[in-house]
Amino acid sequence: MAPVIYPTTNFTATEQLCLERGEGIYVFDSDGNKYIEGLAGLWCTSLGYSNTEVMDAITEQLHKLPFSHTFGGKTHKPIMELAEKLKAMVPVEDAYIFFGNSGSDANDTHYKMLRYYFNAIGKPEKRKIITRERGYHGVTVAAGSLTSLPANLAHFDAPLEALSILRADSPHYYTARQGNETEAQFVERILKNLEDQILAEDPDTIAAMIVEPITGASGVIVPPEGYYEGLQALLRKYGILVWADEVICGFGRTGADFGCTTMGIKPDLMTFAKQLSSAYFPISASIIPGWMYEAMINQTNEVGVFGHGYTYSGHPAACAAALKTLEIYERDNLFEHAADVGAYLQAQLREIFTDHPLVGEVRGKGLIAALELVSNKTTGASFDKGAAGATAQKLCQDNGLILRAVAGNAVALCPPLIITKAEVDEMLTRLKTAIDASYDALSDQGLIAS
Ligand SMILES: Cc1ncc(COP(=O)(O)O)c(C=O)c1O
């Protein structure tokens, strides 16, 4: 076996799928088997696997200027163009953009910029960040501590105490409701918990709250109606900034430009990566409002520089990839396409799976969705150690569909945005076969409640 330390992998796992090439929404393994990439890689290959326009834009840029850093007085056209383009797109007031290479480092950048900003305005005590249970924000030191999934914390001694991270309730009604609580009562309870927590901590010590508008890795949680409205009112009341992690939701995924648009969030800060370049070249963006940037200017003068930056911040080929990707989104109306095909996907999923004995909840918006697999449809009881998720993921793959089991027993769907309705049908036919087979396999093991 090649001496690779594989990311987010059980080192005792022996089965690996070696992919060789891709075309549209399909990928092919080294034996020539064809699969639908139902998770767009890792929620990222929005334009599918054979977009020559993006490839050509990258190649052209590599021929012209394969690298230029952007430290201390250096710039280049693609980074300036991309920043202007994003500024015009995002719902952030007079946006300023810091470019990085991954969603994780972009969240670390925000974490540091928040400290920098509050130090600059003479409020160094405003440093705590609220994150949510089940949130996923990456794996670097700060982002990894903002993440709340057990596997990302255990044995890394995370969260790091010094980062002052607070954890709020997960907004997942299906798994976190109490007794006969209605959705409205659930929202009221968890927002009350949050307000109590804010008051106990002292609002003047809390800088921001980070949220994925719709979560990904924690199981595609779509918070109930009224949640974000109440949440934002609370955060504004106590002077806490709203930080939207759009690493998965950004650029059409939820059937609108941003998850914030779909969920009615007015963010102060935004994080992007993945679909910003359709994953054809690594790039991320940490976006702050102009008033935050302005406040940081004097401090950089005092120290000499804004002492934060990556060698590859604004890599010219990455910027070229992002510019072409954004141009294609606009030219081909891909956000509208995602809304249209997404509505079809959501309707079909509910039609096929709502009454399935293995499925407790069908959820999602636009072109992101999940099935919650349960051992008892009446009580919603789950399976130990992600047994159903692992079984379904394997059986999907055996049926020519690559999906991902997340949060134990949820199966997530997040196909490339270019998927057609006919391809959705093909994907769901394969999914149904795999979910039926999973039910049989789990029943044979005595894991389904009778
Ligand atoms: C919401 C969210 N934030 C941040 C990240 C981290 O991004 P990356 O894996 O590029 O570091 C992810 C990755 O899946 C994500 O889903």
119-140: per-residue pLDDT in tens? 999 999 999 999 999 999 999 9
Could you tell which of 254, 274, 281, 404 is best to mutate to test the pocket of ligand 1, judged by most ligand atoms within 8 Å of the CB?
274
Determine the distance separating the centroid of ligand 1 and the alpha carbon of 137, expressed in angstroms. Answer: 5
Ligand 1: which of 42, 131, 137 to mutate, most ligand atoms within 8 Å of CB? 137
Cα(112) to centroid of ligand 1, in Å?
Answer: 17
**Domain span at 93:** 54-331
* pLDDT, position 26: 98
Average pLDDT over residues 247-271: 98
Amino acid 425: pLDDT:
98
| Residue 400: band (very low, low, confident or very high) from pLDDT cuts 50, 70, 90 | very high
Same domain, 207 and 252: yes
Do 124 and 152 sit in the same domain of this protein?
yes
Ligand 1: which atom is nearest the Cα of residue 103? 7
The predicted model gives 213-223 an average pLDDT of 97
Whether 19 maps to a domain, the answer reads no
Confidence of residue 152 (pLDDT cuts 50, 70, 90): very high
| Among candidate residues 299, 331, 363, the one where a domain is terminated | 331
Q: How far is the CA of 144 from the centre of ligand 1 (A)?
A: 10
What is the percentage of the chain residues whose pLDDT exceeds 70? 100
| Residue at 387 is within a domain | yes
Residue 239 has pLDDT above 90, yes or no: yes
Residue 441 pLDDT class (50, 70, 90 cuts): very high
- Is the predicted pLDDT of residue 162 greater than 80, yes or no? yes
> Of 286, 303, 331, which closes a domain?
331
Question: Which pLDDT score is estimated for 64?
Answer: 98
Among 292, 314, 331, give the residue marking a domain's end: 331
| Domain membership flag for residue 24 | no
Ligand 1 neighbours by CB, cut-off 6 Å = 42, 102-104, 107, 136-138, 212, 216-217, 245, 247-248, 273
Nearest CA to ligand 1 atom 3: 137
- Residue 450: pLDDT above 80? no
Tell me, what's the pLDDT at 378?
94
Using the mean position of ligand 1's atoms as its centre, give its distance from the Cα of residue 265 in Å. Answer: 19
Averaged confidence pLDDT in the chain: 97
Q: Note whether 171 and 292 are same-domain residues.
A: yes
Confidence of residue 391 (pLDDT cuts 50, 70, 90): very high
Residue 418 is part of a domain; what is its CATH number? 3.90.1150.10
Q: What is the pLDDT of residue 1?
A: 80
Give the tens place of pLDDT for each residue, 346-359.
999 999 999 999 99
Between the CA of 199 and the centroid of ligand 1 the distance, in Å, is: 30
At 316 the pLDDT is 98
Question: What average pLDDT does the segment 215-223 reach?
Answer: 97
Query: Does a structural domain hold residue 23?
Result: no
How close is the Cα of 149 to the center of ligand 1, in Å?
A: 13
Going from the Cα of 32 to the center of ligand 1, the distance in angstroms, rounded, reads 30
Q: pLDDT band at 15, cuts 50/70/90?
A: confident
Give the mean model confidence (pLDDT) for residues 367-378. 97
HEC string for the chain: CCCCCCCCCCCCCCCCCCEEEEECCEEEECCCCEEEECCHHHHCCCCCCCCHHHHHHHHHHHHHCCCCCCCCCCCCHHHHHHHHHHHHHCCCCCCEEEEECCHHHHHHHHHHHHHHHHHHCCCCCCCEEEEECCCCCCCCHHHHHHCCCHHHHCCCCCCCHHHCEEEECCCCHHHHCCCCCCHHHHHHHHHHHHHHHHHHHCHHHEEEEEECCCCCCCCCCCCCCCHHHHHHHHHHHCCCEEEEECCCCCCCCCCCCCHHHHHCCCCCEEEECHHHCCCCCCCEEEEECHHHHHHHHHHHHHHCCCCCCCCCCCCHHHHHHHHHHHHHHHHCCHHHHHHHHHHHHHHHHHHHHCCCCCEEEEEEECCEEEEEECCECCCCECCHHHHHHHHHHHHHHHCCEECEEECCCEEEECCCCCCCHHHHHHHHHHHHHHHHHHHHHHHHCCCCCC
Number of structural domains (the chain) is 2
